[in-house]
Structure 1
């Protein structure tokens, strides 16, 4: 499996350390000054060999040799991953016969279906290398900008954040369209402001977790002290007990900054000497024109919807697993279900619970179209993205799906 972290511009190291990789932060034995790693008992590497890829250039430890090479978009990013895969398989031909799956979450929902389509097209025209593609895995996937965004208000209503009256008035006055709003529609604008007031202190990545403002303050202070001078600077004020008192999941992400920017870690990872002064960041959010000696990313969103790609893949011999944390309001499961239903596939296993340790782990439904099968699954209690919150359940889900077993 090739695993891409979303963003765009987020490092694969984030997915490795916080979601599905073989290692995780050992919080019990870590301080922010010296993070320690431990084995992840629920790593997806238990059931698949995984390449974690930093892409596009400017994400994680990836870099480009010219400022222009940091300028990219959905289509170009897709082709770069496709060419990477072909080159990697040419250099490691013993893996050519292995079944291949592409996986990603969040914004990866845009690029992965495009990459998978490119692989099938390349196989059909005989580009000299036959890739044994079997399917794709998408978690909490951005798929259609309009559907994803417009599902947030119905989701908030279902979760009890909006009254029936507010939801009804907002829906009627905005005609169900909350993304592209007519500024002259004063009633719609008014009710959207009411909705914003209701939701502004809700943590969108997981609606039950606390909303925190501490991360940016801590991160700013951390960078002002200089990550590379960690050996000289005491950071005991950010020891684990104080972070736990905050109750903020985002604070845990700071450990990856200090770990990835340690000199011994970068040497062990063989980070190019020319780029040793560039700080690793979990997500590269600069999104501005590249400057010399700055690892910045300029990304243009050129594909607002990949529903058509899923529709084309539904005519292939292909397996798809799409899962959603049911407490995610970044990409609510309602929007994901809506675009899946728009594919007009045959339901072969209707909506039902699935179980881990005899407990309901979520709900699933399976669709089919000849040799194409799509399994949609919710992960009960999962956020954006699900494996970070429910690692045991998500590993069980993937293991059963890869083995072609019922969830």
Structure 2
């Protein structure tokens, strides 16, 4: 992967210039053919009472040479000062999880009423802690085949991580051409979980494009990531995390360290003691929700942290299953699991009236799936640290935050790779405060990187601590200290 970083020299610049020429040609063809790329305004959403009190736009933008890949997006304009507020492009993890998760469960202006499905369309409520209070946000369904994004051909449905990042860059350029009022906006790229791989790559592609003069110039300022999967070794930090949280004994922890020598994901089959210790560890963690260790353990939401990257599977892929695998049944039980809330999205997004309101193209997809892990998607990048290093050299701002009760990508893992960048600390470990209470802890570095924990947060921290995460984002995006 280091070669991909160093390829920002002559060959990559020639490649980017060629793409630039093709891009301008495509724009010219589209203008001449009156193929409007503009999205459609959504004023009403089924399940929400009355007109939307915020500006929502949905649409598709075709990417690649023949535009056989149609990427779907939700755009929410800032509720404060869209003319001057930053623009954020948000990529949800997976790979294969729709950006609707970010919109309705994490940082967007709507959320589902937390009532078990009872046969009628789920209701939508306003999220008082939406990040769109201070920023305009594009929620992009990526890669192709995710959410409402679709391919026109079988070949176009196949993608890789680097290809998806190229498509994201092309999407953003075309979106800005179609929305010239945002050309001068400060731009940030954000995401969580698996997006810890893609967001730094996309950010670098934008930076490279700006350097060689690709139009439109994007006013890139930085990026932000929540509980980001960053290296193939992230899962090894689940065991020290479990020990620190009192989930395993001192004796087992010491034996694990000695017998496994810090490698807990791919165990040597001849190492009998390590295998025995891992078996004991897995039994102790069998009924723990790894996305948030204090939440109820629910069916289909208990991946083993030592398998996060084993077998080429990502954290969110292990966490969420396809809707048809959930075996949903009518129930009068209390709303006790987050899975109950996730299920509401299937009933809502697959409703014909909802798809009509969102301007979904008829026949473009089959059943809408929140996390589609059956995609023909190939991962080749398993370490994004060199991208962070490269972006640091270029002076971009970054916010890396971790829900401190997540065992899928523990904050221990995130702090380890940040430390490996070898930047000096400019503001040492301290609490950050919200309404007189500790919201988490933070530290800043000489490379303009801020690391923050979110106290009580899980794998997708804004789901669990929305007020804290909204305050954290608002302070950071406005360059205020946490």
The TM-score normalised by the length of structure 1 is: 0.89
Tell me the CA shift for residue 27 of structure 1. 2.5
Structure-2 change in CA distance of 1:223 and 1:260 (3 Å) = farther
Tell me the CA shift for residue 29 of structure 1. 9.7
2:178 is matched with 91
Q: Deviations over 1:218-269 (max 9, x none)?
A: 9548879xxxxxxxxxx8x34xx5242xx21111111111000111000111
Aligned counterpart in structure 2 of residue 40 of structure 1, from 104, 121, 127 = 127
Structure-2 change in CA distance of 1:218 and 1:333 (3 Å) = closer
The answer to which of 70-79 and 212-221 deviates more is 212-221
2:333 is matched with 242
Structure-2 change in CA distance of 1:214 and 1:329 (3 Å) = closer
1:384 is matched with 459
Distance 1:11 1:137 in 2: 18
2:160 is matched with 73
Tell me the CA shift for residue 317 of structure 1. 2.5
Aligned counterpart in structure 2 of residue 58 of structure 1, from 131, 142, 145 = 145
Tell me the CA shift for residue 186 of structure 1. 1.4
Report whether the alignment pairs 1:340 with 2:418: yes
RMSD (Å), alpha carbons = 1.9
What are structure 2's unaligned runs of at least 5 residues? 1-87, 302-319
Q: Which has the higher helix share?
A: 1
Distance 2:431 2:179 in 1: 41
Structure-2 change in CA distance of 1:308 and 1:264 (3 Å) = same
Tell me the CA shift for residue 275 of structure 1. 2.6
2:100 is matched with 13
2:30 is matched with none
The answer to which of 64-73 and 162-171 deviates more is 64-73
Tell me the CA shift for residue 392 of structure 1. 0.4
Aligned counterpart in structure 2 of residue 144 of structure 1, from 225, 228, 231 = 231
The answer to which of 184-193 and 318-327 deviates more is 184-193
Within-5 A mapping of 1:392-407:
392-407=467-482
The TM-score normalised by the length of structure 2 is: 0.75
CA contact (8 A) 1:205 1:384 kept: yes
Within-5 A mapping of 1:8-407:
8-27=95-114, 31=118, 33-146=120-233, 148-213=234-299, 219-220=323-324, 237-238=330-331, 242-244=333-335, 247-275=336-364, 278-286=366-374, 297-369=375-447, 373-407=448-482
What are structure 1's unaligned runs of at least 5 residues? 225-234, 287-296
1:290 is matched with none
Count matched residues: 377
2:66 is matched with none
Q: Deviations over 1:35-66 (max 9, x none)?
A: 01011100000010000000111111111011
Q: Deviations over 1:296-315 (max 9, x none)?
A: x1111100100010011111
Give the secondary structure class of the aligned counterpart of 1:170. Answer: helix
Q: Deviations over 1:354-400 (max 9, x none)?
A: 1111000100001113xxx0000000000011000000000000000
Distance 1:179 1:222 in 2: 27
CA contact (8 A) 1:360 1:380 kept: yes
Give the secondary structure class of the aligned counterpart of 1:317. Answer: coil
Distance 2:187 2:166 in 1: 17
Distance 2:267 2:119 in 1: 44
1:227 is matched with none
